[in-house]
Chains A and B, each alone.
Chain A
Amino acid sequence: MKTVAFNWAPAFAVAAACALITAGQAQAAAAARPDFTGVWTNAGAPALGGTTNVAAPTPPIRPAVKVRVDAFNALINPTGETAGQYCLGYGMPQSTLGSGGYPLEIIQRPEQITTISEAHTEVRHIYFGARNAPEDERLPGRNGYSSGRWEGAVLVVETDNLVEQLDQRQWPHSDEATIVERYYLEPKPDAQGRRILVDELTMTDPKFYTAPVKATKRWAQIPNGRLLNYECPEETWHIRLEALAKAKGVSLP
């Protein structure tokens, strides 16, 4: 049998060139990704309190759902009860669009972005690529499960595995709601020189609404900002201690 010697050198050269190009593209793509790490507050809002709701229209709600939402509001409106009053986190989308006017910290790593809202110390985890949890390990909750990807300089976050939340201030939603957010930096800082982060949010919930909910939130970065610890249940615990003391007929130690 005649063997023919094959010259592998050109193939290796092509492979190496391809690898270099791919690596270069990856580096370029990574370089294009902005770093959102920092502490952010409502753009244009004051430090105390602050606007909490984003002005945006509510799409038509399905009649049967409206009956339930109205009944829920009739239950809580007379006393103004809210989930937050009992230290329950806002849940998506309010946890991001509203957050009670409190600041938001973003910690960005290549495989994961973590956001912490000062109010209730409410946390969202946004996973990338292989860092994502298997489908059957995604625990449904008020903030759902979030997966991220980059489209150039735009961070796209998809959230599902939400639970039904009639207590959302603006847009109650079902457990079938899904949310897509597109985060990007405005090209220029604001008048105070602060970076402005925009979150264009679309919530689709055919079970509750006949069209998607669309809202835009703008955040301004606080230079060298820090979150303060927020222990929400302090008041509840103090009231409980007072009740225990009263029942025993003693003063609080």
Chain B
Amino acid sequence: MKTAIIATIAAAAALGLATGASAHHSAVQFDFGKQAQYKGVVKTFEAINPHMRMTLMVTGAKGPHEVEFEGHSTNNMYRNGYRKGMVNVGDTVTVNVAPMKNGTDGGFVVSATTKDGKFFGAKSTRALDAAAAQKAAEGKQ
């Protein structure tokens, strides 16, 4: 499931996400002026430097398919709530990402919610989870 979110990137920019990511390593392919959200089953996950790597199996209009992501360094993730064991292969997780500029699936993970509901990453993007939950709740009514 991919939920496009209208960017409120002022919050992310205030956190320095765009500058932080691009400053350290190339992030030219990501659009830090927008955000998107994916929910899927973890197929691969590596909390490594300089970039976290993750593959999710997502479902949607295209049917089940794999989507690859990058993310912050282990150090940045750790400072913002990530701990070893929070994300494992087979878990269903939700990630908030700066999407690809070319419109393809994937992006740069700025935050995530684990299967246990634990959150790590830029706290300003937690609002995206609330927005998605609200939308889902409204859809069920």
Q: Is B truly associated with A? A: yes
Q: Which residues of A contact B (CB under 8 A)?
A: 45-53, 77, 79-82, 84-85, 87, 98, 100-102, 118-119, 169, 228, 230-235, 238
A82 cross-chain contacts in B, Cβ below 8 A = 25-26
Interface pair B79/A47, CB less than 8 Å apart: yes
Docked complex Cα distance between A53 and B121 (Å): 22
CB-CB under 8 A for A48 and B19, given A84-B50, A228-B78, A230-B75: no
B76 cross-chain contacts in A, Cβ below 8 A = 48-49
The smallest C-beta distance from B90 to any residue of chain A, in angstroms, reads 17
The smallest C-beta distance from B66 to any residue of chain A, in angstroms, reads 15
Docked complex Cα distance between A228 and B72 (Å): 14
A53 cross-chain contacts in B, Cβ below 8 A = 19, 23
Interface pair B14/A46, CB less than 8 Å apart: yes
A98 cross-chain contacts in B, Cβ below 8 A = 23
Interface residues of B in 9-25 (CB under 8 A from A): 14-25
Quick one: closest B residue to A83, CB to CB? B25
Interface pair A48/B17, CB less than 8 Å apart: yes
Docked complex Cα distance between A49 and B79 (Å): 10
Quick one: closest B residue to A77, CB to CB? B28
Among B14, B19, B49, B122, which residue has its beta carbon within 8 angstroms of that of A101? B19
Q: Which residues of B contact A (CB under 8 A)?
A: 14-29, 46, 48-51, 53, 72-76, 78-80, 121-122
Q: Enumerate 12 A-B pairs (CB-CB under 8 Å) in ascending A order.
A: A48-B15, A48-B17, A48-B76, A49-B15, A79-B26, A79-B28, A100-B23, A101-B24, A102-B75, A228-B79, A232-B50, A234-B48
Among A46, A80, A81, A231, which residue has its beta carbon within 8 angstroms of that of B49? A231
The smallest C-beta distance from B132 to any residue of chain A, in angstroms, reads 21
B24 cross-chain contacts in A, Cβ below 8 A = 52, 84, 100-102, 119
The smallest C-beta distance from B125 to any residue of chain A, in angstroms, reads 10
The smallest C-beta distance from A234 to any residue of chain B, in angstroms, reads 4
A79 cross-chain contacts in B, Cβ below 8 A = 26, 28
Interface pair A101/B26, CB less than 8 Å apart: no
Quick one: closest B residue to A237, CB to CB? B48
Quick one: closest B residue to A42, CB to CB? B16
CB-CB under 8 A for A87 and B122, given A51-B19, A228-B75: no
Docked complex Cα distance between A230 and B51 (Å): 11
Docked complex Cα distance between A213 and B53 (Å): 38
A48 cross-chain contacts in B, Cβ below 8 A = 15-17, 20, 72, 76, 79-80, 121-122
B29 cross-chain contacts in A, Cβ below 8 A = 80
The smallest C-beta distance from B26 to any residue of chain A, in angstroms, reads 4
Docked complex Cα distance between A48 and B12 (Å): 10
Which has the most chain A C-beta neighbours within 10 Å: B24, B76, B80?
A: B24
Docked complex Cα distance between A238 and B80 (Å): 24
A235 cross-chain contacts in B, Cβ below 8 A = 46, 48-51, 53
CB-CB under 8 A for A85 and B23, given A47-B80, A232-B50: no
Docked complex Cα distance between A45 and B76 (Å): 14
